[in-house]
Amino acid sequence: MKPVPAHLGSVLMLGVVSQLAQVVMLRELLMVFHGNELSIGIILAAWLIWVGVGTGVGTVLAERSERILALLALNAVVLLPVLASSVLASRALRGIFEVVPGAYLALTDIVLGSLLLLLPVGVLLGMQFVLLAKLWRLHDRNDDTLGAGKTYIGEALGNIIGGMAFSLLLVHYLNAFEVVVLAGLLVVLAVLWAGRRTTGMGAPLARTGRLALLGVLFVGILGFGALPILNDYGHRVQWRSIAPEHELLEVRQSRHGNISIARRDDQLSFYRSGHLMFAAAGPDAASAHFEEQEAAVFAHFGLTQHPYPKRVLLIGGGLRGTLGEILKHPVDRVDYVELDEVLTEAARHYLGTATLAALASPRVHLIHRDGRLFLKESRAQWDVILVDVPDPATAVLNRFYTTEFFAEARARLADGGLLVVNSVSTPGLRGRTVANRNATVRHTLARHFEQMLVVGDHSLIYLASDSPDAISAAPERLIERYRAREVRSQAFSPGHFALLLEPGQLARVNWVLRHHGRDPEAHRTGPPSPPLRLTAPLKPTVDDLESVNEHLFINSDFRPVGYFHTLMFWGDLTGSRTAEQLGRLLDVRPGWIALPAVLVLGLIALLRLTRQGRARAPDRQLAVGLAVFTTGLSTMAMQVALLFAFQSLYGFVYEMLGLIVAIFMAGLAGGTALTQARVRLRASLGLLAGVQGAIALFALLIALLLPLTAQLPSANAVFVCFAALTFIGGVLNGVDFPLTAAAFSAANQRPERSAGMVYGIELFGACTGAALASVLIAPILGIVACFLLAAIVNGTALVALMIARR
């Protein structure tokens, strides 16, 4: 039995620290970017770019030096303080941009900020891979790329360990600084252990290197107890750029994101991952605030539309006052679903007595669960379902505004039941982006409900039902019900009915939302001008209306365009460049991918024709490089798309992120190990072409099957399905690495350069795939289009390899 290599711990720790640092920085930057998942691909792309650059630096160092252990020691000594500094810098990142408090950063700011912040960590980790690959080659005493393959497997196993540890343990007990410092200390320990062995590993680790490692280890352990203080300081630095006029009261860590509570005068604001969830008056407030008035209007308009509301479902909003207003009606039971138990428990310490009394009411059944999953798996029937969640400014929130969710809600309504949804607006729906978003909500609802009425001004309330007489626009009827129930509210009066149901305003809002989104250029030109004389808002739609532009005005789980419109709307409201930059992406067409594919294939064919038997084969190297690039692009695009789809259906992406990546890495490690153990002719272009074809077919299969996952009956079934798809994607990616590394090495006989080139090119492909999938393809062309892209690019690589092989 061969002895365990002394550097195996360093290889595993490379995977562990890479996984932990990536997940921590992703969560920290999402806080800076207001929880906006559109930035996930940009963050991952920036990470992959710098890791790829790091492999290039590592390749140069590995080819010019035999002091690999000394280079690893220096890397580890620098890495630990860089990790901690990067977390702190992420919390100060927003302050370097000229953006007003509360405004979203523009796409260019997100790109620049991610690139600046992730540069040092990414380069250091990329260097480690090539250095460890050479260390393994020296240990095995060979001149091929098997050492790189073993390093690739070991890193993947470390990623699995790191992902599992974060999702199941670390996220619940340690703050961000403690996680990254712990990871950095483990890297230092692993290099110290590797330095104990000197034979077969190049030049030994000098005494100076050991002392430096011991010094960093000592300082890290000694200062570990002070990290909570640093964490608190970092949050306060960050808060000064998010809401400088607010006092940060508390930050709690949740599996769904960081919960922040801030106060301004007697108003309390509650944030999750930098995104405002709700605001409410504090316990000492003398009168109801604007936010409580909005909650009261939402609750009373919804409840008075139903003649006898006995069973009510409230998804979100209870902590801002909606729950207490509902209980003022003669309801028998309120099922209140709130996602985050940490948010509820934190709010109990700050909210007024009325909200606390509502939570303690025997008529209230508080359920801490994802509202979407609860509704899907429940078999109960409700008279009124109120969805009081923030606007769909993130993919998580967009799940409550999609056609799939509205279908699920309709199935759970009793006869004569009513669905009530709200969203932010502007007076008279003036503005292109606000009309785009709110028309999208209206048209998506209309797919499932015959009767609809939209009420409001600064905030719109959407009332939807299938019963002909369930919705009324007559204020007298609603006032009569309100008074008959003897409702008393400081934040609402019967006069609100007459004010918000004023015929002219009501007809205009409903006419605009009904007509906007039917012209192919509606998203650019804005809503049409209504006629001077308008029909009643509840009359059936006229027959001569054009059909709705589904591509841009029907919001679904697999094409979350409502989320995209909301980002543009908030960009307009806050004066940032977001709306302008995102608007340009709407002009992208799927057919544009044909041009680069044709150009690359034409170049490879030209190189093949001009080769004429020469030893050097640039067409083969280009074809292999294309295969590496497309494998990275397609697997990352599919991974991002699976994350988006998983989040739409399951809802727990923040908690499960580490676990999902661990599953992918398990497949990757298995695929690489299987190929190295079973495949002898690893430099075969025919075999590599077969792998490209398999990836393309796999992507097409997912594109066909993915929409069916929305019909799965339980959350566990959804998770098993996505875990299986993720694992298979990892296997295919893992099979590809040793084949392409061997093909490169056969051409240039330089194992370190081959390993570094393959790893770097794959990372650049993954970077491209992450950015395209999250920023452009998933929200605009649809999640399924990400898999079609993967199939096309890998099909292109297959053809390229067959041309070069002939």
Q: Lowest-pLDDT range, 101-105, 200-204, 359-363?
A: 200-204
The pLDDT, as a whole number, for residue 749 is 56
Instruction: Tell me which of 349 and 747 has the higher pLDDT.
Output: 349
The fraction of the chain above a pLDDT of 70, given in percent, is 90
Spatial separation of the C-alpha atoms in residues 141 and 386, rounded to whole Å: 68
Instruction: Identify the bridge partners of residue 420 per DSSP, sorted by sequence position.
Output: 386, 463
Spatial separation of the C-alpha atoms in residues 487 and 444, rounded to whole Å: 33
pLDDT digits (tens, 9 = 90+) for 743-794: 776 665 565 566 667 777 888 888 899 888 888 888 888 888 999 999 999 9
The pLDDT, as a whole number, for residue 709 is 76
Amino acid (1-letter code) at residue 402:
T
Nearest-CA neighbor of 328 among 348, 299, 306, 298? 299
Spatial separation of the C-alpha atoms in residues 187 and 79, rounded to whole Å: 9
The whole-number average pLDDT for the span 307-335 is 94
Spatial separation of the C-alpha atoms in residues 363 and 329, rounded to whole Å: 11
The pLDDT, as a whole number, for residue 2 is 57
Residues in the chain: 806
Other Cβ atoms less than 10 A from the Cβ of 32: the count is 28
Mean pLDDT is highest, among 86-90, 340-344, 431-435, for 86-90
300 confidence band (pLDDT: 50, 70, 90):
very high
8 Å CB contact between 90 and 117: yes
8 Å CB contact between 127 and 62: no
Spatial separation of the C-alpha atoms in residues 700 and 790, rounded to whole Å: 8
144 pLDDT above the threshold of 70: no
The pLDDT, as a whole number, for residue 614 is 57
Mean pLDDT is highest, among 256-270, 318-332, 575-589, for 318-332
Pairing assessment for the beta strands 364-368 and 382-387 based on DSSP bridges? unpaired
Spatial separation of the C-alpha atoms in residues 344 and 338, rounded to whole Å: 8
pLDDT digits (tens, 9 = 90+) for 540-558: 444 457 788 888 899 998 8
Other Cβ atoms less than 10 A from the Cβ of 700: the count is 17
At 1, which helix (H) or strand (E)? none
Q: Which two tokens stand for residue 28?
A: 């920290």
Q: Lowest-pLDDT range, 175-184, 359-368, 769-778?
A: 769-778
Nearest-CA neighbor of 17 among 146, 108, 97, 121? 121
DSSP string, 377-430: H----EEEEEE----S-SHHHHTTSSHHHHHHHHHTEEEEEEEEEEEE--GGG-
Average pLDDT over the chain reads: 85
Spatial separation of the C-alpha atoms in residues 539 and 584, rounded to whole Å: 37
The pLDDT, as a whole number, for residue 682 is 63
- Work out whether the CA dihedral 430, 434, 438, 439 comes out positive or negative: positive
DSSP string, 164-207: HHIIIIIHHH--HHHHHHHHHHHHHHHHHHHTT--TTSSSPPPH
SS3 651: coil
The whole-number average pLDDT for the span 13-35 is 88
Pairing assessment for the beta strands 275-281 and 247-254 based on DSSP bridges? unpaired
The whole-number average pLDDT for the span 126-153 is 79
Instruction: Identify the bridge partners of residue 337 per DSSP, sorted by sequence position.
Output: 315, 367
86 confidence band (pLDDT: 50, 70, 90):
very high
pLDDT digits (tens, 9 = 90+) for 661-714: 778 888 888 888 888 777 766 667 788 888 899 999 999 998 888 877 777 777
The pLDDT, as a whole number, for residue 542 is 47
List the strands of the sheet with 267-272, edge to edge.
247-254, 257-264, 267-272, 275-281
Q: Which two tokens stand for residue 165?
A: 């540890």
Q: Which two tokens stand for residue 638?
A: 């599919």
Chain centroid to Cα 259, Å, comes to 17
The whole-number average pLDDT for the span 526-543 is 65
pTM recorded for the entire structure: 0.85
HSE of 81, CA atoms in CB hemisphere, 13 A: 8
Spatial separation of the C-alpha atoms in residues 661 and 126, rounded to whole Å: 18
HSE of 779, CA atoms in CB hemisphere, 13 A: 30
The pLDDT, as a whole number, for residue 543 is 46
Q: Lowest-pLDDT range, 164-173, 453-462, 654-663?
A: 654-663
Nearest-CA neighbor of 515 among 534, 490, 494? 534
- Work out whether the CA dihedral 300, 306, 311, 317 comes out positive or negative: negative
1 confidence band (pLDDT: 50, 70, 90):
very low
- Work out whether the CA dihedral 114, 119, 124, 127 comes out positive or negative: positive
Spatial separation of the C-alpha atoms in residues 671 and 81, rounded to whole Å: 35
The pLDDT, as a whole number, for residue 33 is 82
In the block, tokens 């932010």 appear at: 424
411 confidence band (pLDDT: 50, 70, 90):
very high
The whole-number average pLDDT for the span 181-209 is 79
The pLDDT, as a whole number, for residue 180 is 95
The whole-number average pLDDT for the span 402-415 is 94
DSSP string, 101-159: TTPPPPHHHHHHHHHHHHHHHHHHHHHHHHHHHHHHHHHHT-SSSHHHHHHHHHHHHHH
Burial track 359-395 (b if 16+ CB lie within 10 A, e otherwise): beeeebebbebbbbbbbbebeeebbbbbbbbbbbbbb
Q: Which two tokens stand for residue 183?
A: 């990871």
The pLDDT, as a whole number, for residue 541 is 46
What are the backbone dihedrals phi and psi of residue 336, each rounded to the nearest 5 degrees, phi first? -105, 115
Mean pLDDT is highest, among 170-174, 475-479, 598-602, 667-671, for 475-479
Spatial separation of the C-alpha atoms in residues 39 and 98, rounded to whole Å: 19
In the block, tokens 């006995």 appear at: 310
Cα 310–Cα 314–Cα 320 angle in degrees, nearest 5: 120
The whole-number average pLDDT for the span 613-640 is 82
Nearest-CA neighbor of 393 among 785, 779, 783? 779
8 Å CB contact between 311 and 331: yes
Spatial separation of the C-alpha atoms in residues 627 and 801, rounded to whole Å: 8
Spatial separation of the C-alpha atoms in residues 180 and 341, rounded to whole Å: 26
657 confidence band (pLDDT: 50, 70, 90):
low
Pairing assessment for the beta strands 267-272 and 257-264 based on DSSP bridges? antiparallel
- Work out whether the CA dihedral 745, 747, 749, 752 comes out positive or negative: negative
The pLDDT, as a whole number, for residue 156 is 84
226 confidence band (pLDDT: 50, 70, 90):
very high
What are the backbone dihedrals phi and psi of residue 261, each rounded to the nearest 5 degrees, phi first? -120, 125
Spatial separation of the C-alpha atoms in residues 598 and 585, rounded to whole Å: 23
Other Cβ atoms less than 10 A from the Cβ of 144: the count is 18
The whole-number average pLDDT for the span 585-596 is 80
At 804, which helix (H) or strand (E)? helix 783-805
In the block, tokens 């550097």 appear at: 7
SS3 721: helix
pLDDT digits (tens, 9 = 90+) for 69-79: 889 999 999 99
**Euclidean distance between the first and the last CA atom of the chain, given in angstroms as a whole number:** 43
Nearest-CA neighbor of 313 among 326, 300, 295, 324? 326
* Environment class of 609 (CB within 10 Å of its CB; exposed 0-12, middle 13-18, buried 19+): exposed
pLDDT digits (tens, 9 = 90+) for 450-462: 899 999 888 899 9
At 274, which helix (H) or strand (E)? none
Spatial separation of the C-alpha atoms in residues 523 and 583, rounded to whole Å: 9
Spatial separation of the C-alpha atoms in residues 533 and 542, rounded to whole Å: 15
Pairing assessment for the beta strands 382-387 and 459-465 based on DSSP bridges? unpaired
Instruction: Tell me which of 98 and 269 has the higher pLDDT.
Output: 269
